[in-house]
Every structure is written in structure tokens, then in C-alpha cells.
Amino acid sequence: MSPSEAAEKRRRAEVLLCRRSSGWPIFHHLVRSALQASGLAARGLRNSLDVQVRHQTWTTPAQVAGLRILHLSDTHLDGTPGLEKKLLEFILASPHDLLVWTGDFRFRKWAFDPAELEPTLWLLRRLPPPRFGAWGILGNHDLAVQVPLLEAAGLKILINQGVEAAPGLWLAGVDDPHHYRSALPEAALSGRPADSFCLFLAHSPEVADEAAARGADLYLCGHTHGGQIRFPAFAPFLNSRAPRQRNHGRFQVGKMSGFTHSGSGSSTLPFRLGCPPEIVVHHLNPTE
Ligand SMILES: [Fe+2]
């Protein structure tokens, strides 16, 4: 699929979905009011800026071993003032060869004001280009109109496309599987060299079965925020149709490994409890 065909497909999906969606304004208002009344709002805001850098190690073929992949997801940067400065500090201190950003750059969903992307563009303009590039995909909070702005700031967006990002590494990126349901794994894997290692990017874990069936090796996603608010002994609310064990951290589907990011930002409001925001560095290590 050519870049213009991919962008046009996403624009058509937005026209259909934005027409019938208005978000959950009453639910969000109730959540905000309840947190303010409980006195937890200030603590939750502090937590939402308490970014943790986590490391994950994966066993891979020798041709990609040694690569370090810095993974951002669900930054929603215009929703948490000051978060972009925190992320910049941690990214600059985390050596990596490739940066991947699995969607949800902004807070709102359905309409777009260019100011909503400003903190993301501020951050991108200050990042030194990684050796094998900075790559992103669209999430369910994103619109196609954001793509040229992100790309002009140095983040190449893959919409149902794949590219040989590094020697022996096929990087596949699909469109949003959650709201827009426009992910096309077969298009993103088209052209993949037979012996390459496939790193597959999707906004949510909801197309992991399809990616595994088509031979992807490592599936990176986000969307669920790990629940964002977690209480001990209670299962968190998770906004995805994927099996529950795929909604937070590491998972396995056949031979394919997967990882669902807890999110670097917050949605609904800048509030986190029991589930800190994170930056993840994935280390590809040689097969034993
Ligand atoms: Fe999302």
C-alpha cells in the first residue's frame, strides 16, 4: 500500500467514525469530580509525572542482536503539562538505536487543533535522530491530519506499511486496531525479506493473533495504559478486546513475543495510581 493510499484509507475511516462518536464527556466529568472530591487529584498528578525507565530483554537472531529500541506510547502530551520535559530528560539519558512511538500523541479524539500537537513537536525537535530512525504509528486519539506535522518534526509514520529500518530488521506498522479497526497486517508485512526479523508495531494488542499468524517476531503496542489506575487485589479496567493477559507487559502468541506498554502519559485526566508512566528500552540479545 502506498503512503497516499494508506493516508486516504485512514481519512475515510475518520469520516465514518467521527460522525457518530462524541467521546464520553459525562463519564470523564464524573471521574474528574470524584477524584477532586476524594482529595486524590494532586497525588495522581504527581504520579503522572513520575516517569519510570524500564528495560526488557528479548532473545533474537544474531542479525539484529545488540539493537536497543526505545519505546514510547500513549504520551497524550497536551494533557499533562510538563511531561514533555520529563520525557526529553529520560530519553536523552537512555542510549538507543531506534525509537518507536506506538500512537496516541494527543489527549482529545475527534476534532483537531494544531496546538494539541505542540508539546509532541517540541519534544521531537529536541531529540537527536537515532541511528536507525524514529518511527511512529497512529492511535485511536490520532487523526491523519497529524501525519505531515509529525513527519516534518522527524517522526516517520507507518500506516499499514513496512520498511527495512536496519540491516535484517523489517519494521511493520499498522493503523489503529481499536476504534478505526483499520489495521492491515498483511499490507505492513508485504515486501518483507524472507530471513528478516520482524518488529511489528500496533497501537493496541488487538491484532496480535493476525500478526503472529503472518510470522511477526516481536509485537510492540500500548493503548491500555496498564489500566492507569490500579488498586491492590482489584483487576484494573482495561479498554481493549484482546485477551486479558495481553493488556499489560509481556505476552506470547505462538512463536511471537509481545509487549503492551503502560503508557508514557495519561488519558481522561492527568492521573495515575499504582501504575506509573513509563519509557521502555527493549534490548535485542542473541539467541542462546
Ligand atoms: Fe489508545
CATH number at residue 97: 3.60.21.10
CA dihedral 184, 190, 195, 199 (to 10 degrees): -30
Residue 199, helix vs strand vs coil: strand
Whole domain around residue 7: which residue ranges?
A: 3-286
Spacing, Cα 196 to ligand 1 middle (Å): 29
Nearest to 171 by CA among 140, 130, 206, 225: 130
Residues near 1 by Cβ (< 8 Å), separated by ≥ 6?
9, 159, 160, 161, 184, 187, 190
Number of domains in the chain: 1
Spacing, Cα 104 to ligand 1 middle (Å): 5
Spacing, Cα 141 to ligand 1 middle (Å): 6
Note the pTM of the prediction, 2 decimals. 0.92
Spacing, Cα 203 to ligand 1 middle (Å): 7
Residues near 245 by Cβ (< 8 Å), separated by ≥ 6?
251
pLDDT, residue 221, reads 98
Spacing, Cα 179 to ligand 1 middle (Å): 9
Spacing, Cα 239 to ligand 1 middle (Å): 9
Q: Average pLDDT of 87-115?
A: 95
Categorize the per-residue pLDDT at 164 as very low, low, confident or very high, splitting at 50, 70 and 90.
very high
pLDDT, residue 21, reads 56
